[in-house]
Structure 1
Amino acid sequence: MTLVRWMAILEGTSLLALLFIAMPLKYQFGYPEAVRWVGQAHGILFLAFNAVLFGYALKGGLTEIQAFKGFLASFIPFGTFVYKATTLKTIRAQSTRPEG
């Protein structure tokens, strides 16, 4: 699950960089290249995050519902951070809890 957590952080950070750094650079300061580069990086991280979610769902590390929640979270600013703090934290707590 470490990979999913890291991908959630990276994907969320890239979206925030696109919205709050690259977009103002383009529209306020006339630097459209910022959106092109940050947007491309975000697109790659978005696809990678969802591929990792899909891979973990196929392996049984995530249920289909948990993976779908992650997919939906990837469309919302701060969504992957919330997903990491809620769903992934719950999964981690369940996996480290002793049986009995």
Structure 2
Amino acid sequence: MLKLFRATAILEGISYLALFGISMPLKYWAEIPGPNKIIGNIHGILFIAYIILTVVVGLKYKWSIKKLLIFGIASLLPFATFYVEEKYLRKQNAIQH
């Protein structure tokens, strides 16, 4: 479960950057809306999966409310899912093994 959450955190971060760094500029500056729909849908699915996995994994590992909030807020900030994956999830994965 933790590996899935780590992968989702990374993919959600990549999709966030692709959405706001590539497809939004294409849509609004170059008037090419197609990629925005595709990347937007992918990002939406990954965002929802990330939030659900935050709750599921948080409950499984008995995370504090503070830690759950950190992960939730990370989903809203660019690069933050990479940070929490590195700081919290890799450490948790090392503890498991």
| TM-score in terms of structure 2 length | 0.86
Flag structure 1 segments of 5+ consecutive residues without an equivalent: none
Say yes or no: does 1:29 pair with 2:9.
Answer: no
Larger radius of gyration, structure 1 or 2? 1
User: Contact 1:8–1:84 (CA<8 Å) still a contact in 2?
Assistant: yes
- The size of the alignment, in residue pairs, is 95
Flag structure 2 segments of 5+ consecutive residues without an equivalent: none
**Residues 56-90 of structure 1, C-alpha deviations (whole Å, 9 max, x = no match):** 1222x250333321111010000100011111122
Deviation at 1:11, TM superposition (A): 0.4
Say yes or no: does 1:89 pair with 2:71.
Answer: no
User: Contact 1:14–1:42 (CA<8 Å) still a contact in 2?
Assistant: yes
Greater relative contact order: 1 or 2 (C-alpha under 8 angstroms, separation 6 or more)? 2
SS at match of 1:13: helix
Distance (whole Å) between structure 1 residues aligned to residue 62 and residue 8 of structure 2: 15
Runs of 4+ aligned structure 1 residues displaced above 6 Å come to none
Aligned-CA RMSD value: 1.5
